[in-house]
Structure 1
Amino acid sequence: MPKERRKTALGRPTVQSVDRTLDVLEALATRRTATGISELSHIVGLHVSTVHRLLATLVDRGYVRQDPETARYHLGARIFSLSSAAEVHLDLRLLGRPYLERLMRVTGETSNLVTLAEEEIVYLDQVESNHLVKMFTQPGTRAPLYCTGSGKVCLAYLPDERRFALLSQRMRPRTSHTLIEHDQLEREMAEIRRMGYGFDNEEMEEGVRCVAAPLFDRRGNVVGALSVSGPTTRVTPDKAQACVTPLLTVAHELSAQLGYGQQLVPEASPSPRARVGAAAR
């Protein structure tokens, strides 16, 4: 009895040769070292002769490379050009929307998505809380790095040379809580890297508290941040701390969508009030 052809989610039949080719590529992508044809045949569940034909085409097109000495196979350079092209077309705002919605539902507070743009952050999207008193920032709004929660977590994960250059620029206080001294900010950057997240404790706007976590791409570069914000009357130090775990979970999942593979896990740290207070100093 012939094997039933696989169908797509819409019920349409797939193209068997394409399915098999993708199986081979995905199998090679999971291997840390070059793989022999017999082993690859076993992994994908296809006859050696079939795998050999598929590999011959993939090698010819540059998507797979065969080691001339061992005759084993690994991914070729052309597959990485596809990966880079896909990264360019990834729309962070489109990807981030469901994560923002979930973050707002879990925390009950406004969630924000920003991207890093030179010396500032740019708000890409926001899901407002259901409270009557809530935060609102128009998408496209720009804000400084040094005095916003999202900006500070982006700043903390920049290469040292770039971070030093940005922190050497003149910074004006936005509120009485704004940190503008280079040494103070560097200490906070180190604390953010240790914990994996950071706070804005009325540093950009009086009466507003925010907790933020960075977003990374597949190269491990910081590309933006997710944050939760609200009025200090409701987002107390304890409430801000309670938002950390769901925030880190969602930020990790969105970073994974961008190709990042290292989990964002905070280290053991002081009590909630001490930690939020430290962020304000």
Structure 2
Amino acid sequence: MSEFRLPEGEVDDRLYLQSVARALDVLESFGPGRSQMSLSEIAQAVGANKSAIQRTVQTLQARNYLRRGDQRGYMLGSRVLDLTFEYLRNHPYVIRVTPVMAELRRNVGERIDFSIFDYTTIIYAVRMQSKRETLNASLVGRRLMSFGTSGGRACLSLLPDEVVMDILERSPRQKFTPHTVTEIPELMDRIRQAREDRYALAISEYLTGEIVIGAAIRGPNGFPVGAIHIAGMHSELSVDHMRAHVAPLLLEAVRAVELSHG
């Protein structure tokens, strides 16, 4: 297995286009609590003056990456979804994992998710629903912190401890519920346990009352590319049931995806 290195994100300053960066900053400024913003609010979110941001906003609107909202302001446009579709349609693990997840969903009857590992975070790329869901649990593209998710911890368990420590130290470890584990020593204990079990459990750490089991998918180089998660209500699914009955099915599904590498 080759040495794992975190991406540093460094580029040659001579090749860096500030105008492109500003356009991406504008698109990325639309987040929780910012579904619709005025030109002044966009400028404030990006950290630029209104006149400097106006041309960028108008260009993005002309290309339908932004659109006028119902109120005085702008919203993300439908072209953003085109990029999402092409990304998912061409992602090799989305292609491999989807039929495996469908079979797993039939066998366990709970929500099945596939997330892509992105170091400090995971991004949900495929979601197959159970009988009851919230809106956020049904949409792809949601990004969560790796440290607080079963799949994220399972992915971290495939990395050397020093790399895991680096990722945890880079992560803003806020509590999402009173049960979210944020202290590095306890997180390391849980990640090492996941390394031994080959899966991780999280109870009420992002959503109160939810129990989630996740197992990481290794790429051909042995490093994590993502994880399959199975989620249900803790009032209906005990830890013993998850370990004895759900975990074997989950690990079998992960093996099927890994064997599809060829």
TM-score band by shorter chain is 0.5 to 0.7
- Residue 277 of structure 1 is matched in structure 2 by none
After TM superposition, give the deviation of residue 105 of structure 1 in Å.
0.7
CA RMSD of aligned residues (A): 1.6
* Contact 1:124-1:139 within 8 A present in 2 as well: yes
- Residue 34 of structure 1 is matched in structure 2 by none
After TM superposition, give the deviation of residue 199 of structure 1 in Å.
0.5
CA distance in 2, matches of 1:123, 1:258: 21
CA distance in 2, matches of 1:97, 1:199: 22
After TM superposition, give the deviation of residue 231 of structure 1 in Å.
1.6
- Residue 179 of structure 1 is matched in structure 2 by 181
After TM superposition, give the deviation of residue 90 of structure 1 in Å.
5.7
Q: Find out whether 1:153 has 2:188 as its counterpart.
A: no
- Residue 260 of structure 2 is matched in structure 1 by 257
CA distance in 1, matches of 2:96, 2:252: 15
Q: Secondary structure at the match of 2:147?
A: coil
* Contact 1:134-1:231 within 8 A present in 2 as well: no
- Residue 240 of structure 2 is matched in structure 1 by 238
CA distance in 1, matches of 2:248, 2:105: 13
- Relative to the length of structure 2, the TM-score reads 0.61
CA distance in 2, matches of 1:212, 1:174: 19
* Contact 2:129-2:138 within 8 A present in 1 as well: no
* Contact 2:122-2:146 within 8 A present in 1 as well: yes
- Residue 128 of structure 2 is matched in structure 1 by 127
- Residue 64 of structure 2 is matched in structure 1 by none
Task: Output one character per residue of 1:147-189: Cα deviation in whole Å (capped at 9) or x when no partner.
Answer: 1111111122123332111222441111111111111111111
CA distance in 2, matches of 1:142, 1:187: 24
Task: Output one character per residue of 1:126-150: Cα deviation in whole Å (capped at 9) or x when no partner.
Answer: 1112x2x246331111011011111
More displaced stretch, 100-109 vs 157-166: 157-166
CA distance in 1, matches of 2:111, 2:121: 21
The percentage of aligned residue pairs carrying the same residue is 22
What amino acid is aligned across from residue 117 of structure 1 in structure 2? Answer: D
- Residue 105 of structure 1 is matched in structure 2 by 106
- Residue 229 of structure 1 is matched in structure 2 by 231
CA distance in 2, matches of 1:174, 1:115: 21
* Contact 1:229-1:235 within 8 A present in 2 as well: no
Which has more radius of gyration? Answer: 1
Q: Secondary structure at the match of 1:146?
A: helix
Aligned residues: 169
> Where has structure 1 moved over 6 Å in runs of 4 or more?
none
